[in-house]
Structure 1
Amino acid sequence: MTDATADEAEAPKKSGKLGMILGVILALAGAAGGFFATTAGLLPFGSEKPEDMAKTKDEKKDVEALPDVGFVDQPSVIVSVNAGDSRHLKFHAQLEVNADYIADVEKMQPRIMDVLNNYMRAVELTDLEDSLALMRIRGHLLRRIAIVVGEGRVRDVLVMEFVLN
């Protein structure tokens, strides 16, 4: 009996190298197959082949022209905000104007600055705490400026600087 247990104890242990070698070979074969399937366009989610990509580069040259606009710079406005302490708001904007009306808008710049000053002085600190305050201010200013210079001349008010100290 002691001889039988001694034979079982001396049985060689498998090192597992064969499984690791097979795993590496299968991984390399899978990588090569995936590369081939991707480059050959056999996969459904590969949308463009290299030949198609060259065509789309040429087609992208035919883009829509930008609108004919100009920008009229407005001087910075610094106003005190209605608050208990001394706080100031610095506001600087540019007006996006249709190119045909740039001279008209520049001629009305003193009136535009008057509208800007009056509106910015009416803004209170609580109005500025909202996350949509800047969007609302832009909309109000655009409407007031459109009344001064006429509809269709000014396309947008672009805020360049908006600092509350």
Structure 2
Amino acid sequence: MPEPDAAPPPPKRKSRLPMMLGLALGLLLGAGGFYASYARLILPGGSLPWAHTAVPSGAGPPVAFVAVDPVMISLGAAGLNQHLRMSAQLEVPPAYVAEVTHLIPRVLDVTNTYLRAVEVTRLQDPAALIRIRGHLLRRIQLVTGEGRVNDLLITEFILN
């Protein structure tokens, strides 16, 4: 019969061995995967779909830039006196420079209409410029025609 004064035995601790083995195996597999991709053992020959090769200067497709007149828009309620000033350039193929230049008034109309519809709080968001650029580019491409405008480069975007 055990003595009544003796303390009960401490509970058994769970083994940490499975957790340590899992951690070590994960690190080993992660390091192996990194090395295999770094050494190009996976998809050799630079056939990675996201790998970009450097293009020598002048080797890209020829482009021209058409300036869009600066746009200044009053924002919000009349008493707040907030303004947005935006300048941009359109990247176009050289064959379409004259056609796109001829359509600049329509481009300005689409730009003004869209920017007036955007809420001031959205313009103050740090990621707003990316969204605005995408929306404007799509609207400008609809106005000018398919394949006439490749990109919209915003050169000035001031909100005060």
Letter in 2 for 1:115: V
Q: How does 1:1-165 map to 2 (within 5 A)?
A: 65-83=59-77, 85-165=80-160
TM-score by length of 2: 0.61
Work out whether residues 82 and 123 of structure 1, in 8 Å CA contact, stay in contact via their aligned partners in 2: no
Q: Give structure 1 regions of 4+ aligned residues with deviation exceeding 4 angstroms.
A: none
Helix, strand or coil for the counterpart of 1:161? strand
Work out whether residues 81 and 123 of structure 1, in 8 Å CA contact, stay in contact via their aligned partners in 2: no
The answer to which structure has the higher helix fraction is: 1
Instruction: Return closer, same or farther for 1:123/1:64 CA change in 2, 3 Å cut-off.
Output: same
TM-score by length of 1: 0.59
In the alignment, structure 1 segments of 5+ residues that lack a partner are 1-59
Aligned length, in residue pairs: 106
In the alignment, structure 2 segments of 5+ residues that lack a partner are 1-53
Instruction: Give the Cα–Cα distance (whole angstroms) in 1 for the partners of residues 127 and 119 of structure 2.
Output: 14
Instruction: Return closer, same or farther for 1:122/1:63 CA change in 2, 3 Å cut-off.
Output: closer
What is the root-mean-square deviation of aligned Cα atoms in Å? 2.0
Which structure is larger by alpha-carbon Rg, 1 or 2?
1
Instruction: Give the Cα–Cα distance (whole angstroms) in 1 for the partners of residues 70 and 57 of structure 2.
Output: 36
